């Protein structure tokens, strides 16, 4: 249980109850199997969508839940406490859906959102390329205008949901080499010239596929463009602000599950004739874990509110929270593993899975080094 529980609004407690109940009953018991057998749990995802998790901050008209980013942070923490990897996929699906809702036309929203909100269709966010990761604005996938179509050539790397998703929200180059030359287009699964790389084999995030998305003279109607030509990079970065809050919340949720497990284990396990909970060194370790986690949670909620309030520094707060919460989340999982001794290293206990799953949060949606680039650029900007 989080210390913040008592400070949530009545509504947030209700969202939390719903997300916690779902996560503990329909995700947590199966998470080990999804991880071991690399199962993308479509049925569970759709059951979650029926409760409103597919479009937490998508507007109501086409089936979204229309909640705030602060509410989303509460919800994603709960989902991740059950299964980090699955919660993180839901977060990406939310991000892509929100981009369509916020920057698409009414015709585009009506066309894509209803099925995304029920998760009859799954969505992916496609920015990274083999040659451009941290330097995302250097992306090289070309989109050439040909009548009413764009013709895409290039490839995207590491795409979550890649090959399984129905809707790919892609950043491609329509203009010059600057960020202003980038445009956002929706590519549907059956577009001619679209193919996928092999399934990547990963340390964690095994309940969702990751694959390269390849465009070979791939035809996409101009009607699929989200926003104006040249707006793509801005749209992609706006999506990431919220994505970073969600991914922070996912680290916090995973770490909280590990903290709870470690606490229970310390009360049970005896060495040297005493419970682990009776060693002060370990008591202090536990206290530090809980304290750091609470700090991470507060920063994440603060960043979420900065987006909700349209704060001009929202991007910086999101970067600060993402850096701190994902580093803390990993450290807390690692400390919990240490407190479990050799048992923490075994798959019979869930700790090592949480550790493997939260590790990538320090890398994706902008590495934690890039978060420092964003924060320092803002600080030194005169």
Ligand X SMILES: Cc1cc2nc3c(=O)[nH]c(=O)nc-3n(C[C@H](O)[C@H](O)[C@H](O)COP(=O)(O)OP(=O)(O)OC[C@H]3O[C@@H](n4cnc5c(N)ncnc54)[C@H](O)[C@@H]3O)c2cc1C
Q: Which residues are the active-site residues?
A: 365
Any contact of residue 207 with another protein (CB under 8 A)? no
With CB under 8 A, what is the number of residues at the site for another protein? 22
Measured CA to CA, the distance from residue 74 to residue 19 in angstroms comes to 9
Nearest distance, CB of residue 106 and another protein, angstroms: 20
CB 331 within 8 A of CB 178: no
Binding-site ranges for ligand X (CB under 6 A)? 92, 124-128, 133-134, 158-160, 202, 205, 210, 269, 271-272, 276, 279, 281-282, 338-339, 341-343, 345, 360, 363-367, 369-370, 373
Residue in the shown chain whose Cβ atom is closest to ligand X = 133
CA distances from 53 to 89, 98, 186, 192 (A): 11, 12, 22, 31
Measured CA to CA, the distance from residue 75 to residue 144 in angstroms comes to 41
Show the CA angle centred on residue 68, arms to residues 63 and 73, nearest 5°.
105
Nearest distance, CB of residue 56 and another protein, angstroms: 7
Q: Which range in 61-69, 143-151, 211-219, 279-287 contacts another protein by CB under 8 A?
A: 61-69
Q: Which range in 16-24, 225-233, 256-264, 337-345 contacts another protein by CB under 8 A?
A: 16-24
CB 119 within 8 A of CB 54: yes
Q: Hey, what are 146's tokens?
A: 């040909």
Q: Which range in 65-73, 167-175, 281-289, 318-326 contacts another protein by CB under 8 A?
A: 65-73
Measured CA to CA, the distance from residue 55 to residue 115 in angstroms comes to 11
CB 12 within 8 A of CB 56: no
Applying CB under 8 A, among 7, 33, 36, 60 the residue interacting with another protein is 60
52 binds, among ligand X, another protein, none (CB under 5 to 8 A by kind): another protein
Any contact of residue 56 with another protein (CB under 8 A)? yes
92 binds, among another protein, ligand X, none (CB under 5 to 8 A by kind): ligand X
Show the CA angle centred on residue 111, arms to residues 169 and 205, nearest 5°.
35
Query: Residue 264: which of 327, 356, 344 has the closest Cα?
Result: 344
State whether the Cα torsion 24-25-27-30 is positive or negative. Answer: positive
Nearest distance, CB of residue 267 and ligand X, angstroms: 12
Which residues 73-92 are close enough to bind another protein by CB under 8 A? 75
56 binds, among another protein, ligand X, none (CB under 5 to 8 A by kind): another protein
Nearest distance, CB of residue 15 and another protein, angstroms: 6
Q: Which range in 52-60, 150-158, 200-208, 267-275 contacts another protein by CB under 8 A?
A: 52-60
Q: Which is nearer to another protein, 33 or 60 (CB)?
A: 60
Contacts of residue 281, defined as CB under 8 A and 6 or more positions apart, other chains included, come to: none
CB 159 within 8 A of CB 214: no
Nearest distance, CB of residue 263 and ligand X, angstroms: 13
Measured CA to CA, the distance from residue 382 to residue 373 in angstroms comes to 15
Q: Which is nearer to another protein, 52 or 204 (CB)?
A: 52
Q: Which residues pair with 275 in a beta bridge?
A: 270
Nearest distance, CB of residue 164 and ligand X, angstroms: 12
CB 252 within 8 A of CB 88: no
Binding residues for another protein, rule: CB under 8 A, are 1, 5-6, 10-11, 13-15, 17-18, 21-22, 50-53, 56, 60, 65-67, 75
């Amino acid at each position: 249980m989080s210390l913040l529980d008592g400070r949530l609004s009545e509504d947030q407690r209700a969202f939390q109850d719903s997300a916690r109940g779902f996560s503990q009953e329909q995700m947590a018991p199966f998470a080990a199997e999804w991880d071991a057998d690399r199962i993308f749990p479509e049925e569970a995802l759709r059951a979650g969508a029926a409760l409103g998790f597919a479009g937490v901050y998508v507007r109501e008209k086409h089936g979204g839940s229309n909640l705030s980013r602060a509410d989303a942070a509460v919800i994603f923490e709960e989902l991740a406490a059950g299964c980090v990897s699955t919660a993180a996929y839901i977060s990406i699906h939310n991000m892509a859906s929100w981009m369509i809702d916020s920057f698409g036309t009414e015709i585009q929203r009506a066309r894509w959102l209803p099925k995304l909100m029920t998760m009859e269709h799954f969505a992916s966010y496609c920015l990274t390329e083999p040659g451009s990761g941290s330097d995302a604005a250097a992306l090289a996938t070309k989109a050439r205008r040909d009548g009413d179509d764009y013709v895409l050539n290039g490839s995207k790397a590491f795409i979550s949901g890649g090959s399984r998703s129905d809707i790919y929200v892609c950043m491609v180059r329509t203009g010059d080499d600057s960020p202003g030359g980038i445009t956002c287009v929706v590519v549907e699964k059956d577009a001619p010239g679209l193919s996928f790389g092999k399934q990547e084999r990963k340390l964690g995030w095994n309940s969702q596929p990751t694959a390269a998305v390849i465009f070979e003279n791939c035809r996409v109607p101009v009607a699929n463009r989200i926003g104006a030509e040249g707006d793509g990079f801005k749209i992609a970065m706006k999506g990431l602000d919220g994505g970073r809050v969600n991914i922070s919340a996912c680290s916090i949720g995973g770490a909280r599950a590990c903290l709870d497990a470690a606490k229970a284990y310390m009360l049970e396990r005896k060495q040297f004739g005493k419970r682990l909970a009776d060693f002060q060194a370990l008591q202090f370790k536990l206290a530090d874990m809980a304290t750091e986690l609470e700090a991470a949670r507060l920063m994440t909620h603060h960043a979420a509110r900065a987006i909700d309030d349209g704060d001009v520094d929202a991007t910086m707060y999101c970067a600060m929270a993402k850096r701190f919460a994902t580093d803390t989340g990993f450290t807390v999982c690692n400390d919990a593993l240490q407190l479990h001794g050799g048992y923490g290293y075994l798959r019979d206990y869930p700790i090592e899975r949480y550790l493997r799953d939260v590790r990538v949060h320090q890398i994706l949606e902008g590495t934690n080094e890039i978060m420092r680039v964003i924060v320092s650029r803002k600080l030194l900007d005169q």
